[in-house]
């Protein structure tokens, strides 16, 4: 990228695509054999590879037909909305929302959310906003999930921006964090809401905790300009708590945690992140609840204090499903207890304990937060 382009668009490397870039990006994706092969694999998983390769032209034509009328980011998101509607009908028994009535349609917000599912957490937030005729969010996504060019293109078409987590050199890491902080501030200042997870990676053990480093990153764009409290007022930070009655990836998470506990490490498969995304989208979730908290206001002396308030709101607004209560040993009906035990029976050994804790943690966190309020 030339120095001139960097000056004109300092966020070009990480920002979502603009409307005038959509056509070229879609054309590039249609030429990507790897994307076509992934779609064919999930459409026809039992066919031999050589047969799936023969289907490339047909899949490419079908995909081109589906995106043929997409000319803008909004068009792309409206296309996704039609699929979301079908997905919600097939994979959830109920989708409920609370606190959204407190949001002002004329304001932009920084939504800091607990993180259980790679794709569905921001998708459910967006769906709730869309249903209430509020603008959808720009989504923070780690570059560890964007190793494939077509995945990066797909996410950036859906208003995602890149968090550069793979950088290891301290100076480059600091520059990337400052750029990210400036981009988030720029988004809010120009009327675009943002979604970001409360910590790096999913909370696989069910213990939702905000990383104070995230709060420090928010402040990087404001150093020497504003106090921490002035930054909080400017960014309109809203904690969001997303709760799934059942996590479609819970068995995989429990096995991974058990493997780490037993062997000290866990090796991911080549397509494991993509498989997790697909499983999270298509798997049965039961009742899903999205709780929007209150805009953060008040005096915060440190990023740690700010992180604790985000935690308090996420924990107290977390909707406790029968699966959570059963895992924590609280009273539920016999049918609900049986359903949860059938879930646990899918794993063995230490993985059973991790799966139970995964669902029990929100109960303990909420009780503790309410008791300390």
Pairing between β-strand 160-163 and β-strand 237-244 as defined by DSSP bridges: unpaired
Q: What per-residue confidence (pLDDT) applies to 276?
A: 85
- Residue 38's pLDDT is what? 83
Q: Which pLDDT score is estimated for 3?
A: 45
Give the pLDDT score at 1: 43
Q: What is the pLDDT along the chain (373 residues), one digit of tens a residue?
A: 444 444 578 999 999 999 999 999 999 999 999 899 888 887 888 889 899 899 999 999 999 999 999 999 999 999 988 888 899 999 999 999 999 999 999 999 999 999 999 999 999 999 999 999 999 999 999 998 888 889 899 999 999 999 999 898 999 999 999 999 999 999 999 999 999 999 998 999 999 999 999 999 999 999 989 999 999 999 999 999 999 999 999 999 999 999 999 999 888 776 677 788 889 999 999 999 999 999 999 889 999 999 999 999 999 999 999 999 999 999 999 999 999 999 999 999 999 999 999 999 999 999 999 985 4
Would you state the pLDDT for residue 372?
Answer: 53
Question: In the prediction, which pLDDT does 7 show?
Answer: 54
Rounded CA-CA distance 154/229 in Å is 36
**Confidence at residue 55, expressed as pLDDT on a 0 to 100 scale:** 94
**Please, what sign has the CA dihedral across residues 88, 90, 91, 94?**
positive
Q: What pLDDT is stored for residue 4 in this prediction?
A: 44
Radius of gyration of the chain (CA): 21
- Cα separation, 45 vs 342, whole angstroms: 27
Which pLDDT value is given to residue 39? 87
Give the contacts of 300 (CB within 8 A, at least 6 positions apart): 228, 229, 232, 306, 309
Phi, psi for residue 289 in degrees, rounded to 5: -125, 135
pLDDT of residue 46: 86
The pTM of this model reads 0.93
| CA atoms within a 13 Å half-sphere pointing along the CA-CB vector of 70 | 23
pLDDT of residue 273: 76
- Structural domains in the chain, sorted by start: 3-31+72-371 (3.40.1130)
């Amino acid at each position: 990228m030339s120095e001139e382009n960097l000056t004109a668009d300092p966020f070009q490397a990480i920002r979502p695509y603009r409307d005038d870039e959509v056509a070229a990006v879609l054309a590039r994706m249609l030429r990507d054999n790897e994307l076509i092969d992934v779609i064919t694999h999930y459409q026809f998983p039992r066919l031999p590879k050589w047969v799936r390769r023969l289907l490339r032209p047909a899949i490419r034509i079908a995909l081109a037909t589906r995106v043929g009328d997409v000319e803008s980011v909004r068009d792309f998101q409206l296309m996704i909305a039609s699929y979301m509607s079908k997905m919600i009908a097939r994979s959830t028994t109920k989708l409920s929302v609370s606190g959204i009535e407190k949001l002002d349609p004329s304001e932009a917000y920084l939504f800091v959310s607990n993180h259980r599912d790679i794709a569905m957490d921001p998708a459910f937030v967006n769906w709730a906003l869309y249903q209430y005729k509020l603008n959808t969010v720009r989504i923070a996504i780690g570059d560890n999930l964007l190793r494939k060019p077509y995945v990066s293109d797909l996410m950036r078409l859906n208003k995602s921006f890149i968090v550069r987590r793979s950088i290891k050199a301290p100076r480059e890491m600091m520059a990337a964090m400052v750029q990210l902080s400036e981009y988030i501030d720029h988004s809010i200042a120009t009327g675009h809401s943002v979604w970001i997870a409360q910590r790096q990676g999913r909370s696989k053990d069910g213990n939702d905790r905000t990383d104070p480093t995230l709060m420090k990153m928010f402040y990087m764009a404001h150093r020497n300009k504003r106090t921490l409290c002035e930054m909080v007022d400017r960014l309109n930070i809203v904690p969001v708590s997303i709760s799934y009655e059942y996590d479609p990836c819970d068995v995989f998470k429990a096995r991974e945690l058990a493997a780490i506990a037993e062997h000290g490490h866990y090796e991911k498969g080549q397509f494991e992140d993509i498989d997790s995304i697909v499983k999270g989208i298509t798997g049965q979730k039961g009742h899903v609840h999205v709780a929007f908290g209150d805009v953060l206001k008040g005096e915060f002396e440190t990023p740690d204090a700010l992180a604790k308030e985000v935690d308090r709101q996420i924990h107290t607004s977390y909707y406790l499903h029968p699966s959570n209560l059963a895992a924590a040993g609280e009273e539920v009906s016999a049918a609900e207890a049986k359903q949860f035990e059938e879930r646990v029976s899918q794993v063995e050994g230490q993985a059973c304990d991790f799966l139970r804790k995964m669902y029990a943690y929100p109960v303990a966190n909420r009780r503790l937060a309410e008791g300390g309020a």
